[in-house]
Amino acid sequence: MVEWRVTPGLTGYEDAVRVMENRAGAIAAGEAGEMVWLVEHPPLYTAGTSARPADLLAPDRFPVFETRRGGQYTYHGPGQRVVYVMLDLNHRGRDVRKFVEQLERWVIATLDQFNIHGEIRPGRVGVWVPRPEKPPLPDGTPREDKIAAIGIRLRKWVSFHGISINVEPDLGHFDGIVPCGIAGHGVTSLVDLGLPVTMADLDTALQVSFRDTFSE
């Protein structure tokens, strides 16, 4: 059984990393079960292993944390659900590509419960929502906004870090970075798309979709 934990309020980033690393180590040692942990953070930026310094546009705006997860710069803050996944790939198949695809499908299936069509794009990490009502980019490319980011790390084939989904964050806070190194396209949220979804609504949808996605 996977333990689901929801922490109310705002969780400090360094505290979260410490909890994740301890739990992942205990899972690898056979001393604890898998866990999905749902939190919110105070406003901050994180730099993944592929982060480019030039993509940090406002280094003094919020605290910046170096992290050893994959990916580039991301924003976390109130109104964004951060989903930390501590899952044992020793028992789920040691296939990183499949695991990332499962995370993507999990997010897409969760959004589908709110009638939002999320999509993935080659070379662009995360889950995207087409925005045909917005003007295209200067080269004519249709606009797409990012609604969820994905970045994981594995240690002894146990995952930690995970995904983040925008429910109702201050989208202006993303302006201090080039999110995931992708310029041109923007970011969106469930509320920005016109849906009065609460964090509790999303949490319920995540749990339903998790069972369907990871039961295979």
In degrees to the nearest 10, what's the CA dihedral of 195, 196, 197, 199? 140
- On whether 164 is known to bind a ligand per the annotation, the reply is yes
- On whether 54 is known to bind a ligand per the annotation, the reply is no
**Across the strands, what pairs with 159?**
154
**Across the strands, what pairs with 76?**
44
Q: What does 86-144 look like in DSSP terms, one character per residue?
A: E-BHHHH-S-HHHHHHHHHHHHHHHHHTTT---EEETTEEEEEEE-TTSPPPTTSPPPE
d(CA 13, CA 42): 8
- On whether 52 is known to bind a ligand per the annotation, the reply is no
- On whether 97 is known to bind a ligand per the annotation, the reply is no
- On whether 165 is known to bind a ligand per the annotation, the reply is no
- On whether 73 is known to bind a ligand per the annotation, the reply is yes
Grouping H, G, I as helix, E, B as strand and the rest as coil, residue 19 is helix
- On whether 123 is known to bind a ligand per the annotation, the reply is no
Own/partner contacts of 56-64, CB < 8 Å, gap of 24 or more, are: 56/176, 56/177, 57/175, 57/176, 57/177, 57/178, 58/175, 58/176, 58/177, 61/173, 61/176, 62/173, 62/176, 63/13
Grouping H, G, I as helix, E, B as strand and the rest as coil, residue 54 is helix
- On whether 205 is known to bind a ligand per the annotation, the reply is no
- On whether 13 is known to bind a ligand per the annotation, the reply is no
Is residue 180 among the annotated active site residues? yes
- On whether 69 is known to bind a ligand per the annotation, the reply is yes
- On whether 72 is known to bind a ligand per the annotation, the reply is yes
- On whether 153 is known to bind a ligand per the annotation, the reply is no
- On whether 27 is known to bind a ligand per the annotation, the reply is no
* Selected catalytic residue, list 180, 202, 205, 206: 180
Tell me if 56 sits within 8 A of 64, measured CB to CB.
yes
Q: What is the number of other CB atoms lying within 10 angstroms of the CB of residue 198?
A: 12
Binding positions for substrate are 69-76, 149-151, 162-164
Q: Which residues are annotated as a binding site?
A: 69-76, 149-151, 162-164
Residues marked active site are found at 180
